[in-house]
């Protein structure tokens, strides 16, 4: 899973597979972080709560 695991090999299959994985995880992580930060900023600026 990580380059420091001994079964890791710097070959095409590892890079494609793990690349895809970390890419997907990166999008999810960044997306959620972005949503949370935006929510915090919105809340700080007094948005939300009543209108729907």
**Is the C-alpha dihedral spanning 10, 11, 15, 17 positive or negative?**
negative
- Smallest CA-to-CA distance from 18 within 32, 33, 5, 31 is with 5
- Interface characters, 32-51, with other proteins (x: CB under 8 A): x-xxx-xxx-xx--xxxxx-
Q: Does 25 engage in binding with other proteins (CB under 8 A)?
A: yes
Size, binding site for other proteins by CB under 8 A? 29
Q: Does 13 engage in binding with other proteins (CB under 8 A)?
A: yes
Cβ at position 49, least distance to other proteins in Å? 4
């Amino acid at each position: 899973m990580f380059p420091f695991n001994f079964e890791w090999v710097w070959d095409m299959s590892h890079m494609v597979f793990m690349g895809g994985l970390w890419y997907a995880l990166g999008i999810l992580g960044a997306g959620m972080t972005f949503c949370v930060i935006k929510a915090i900023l919105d809340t700080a600026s007094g948005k939300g709560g009543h209108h729907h």
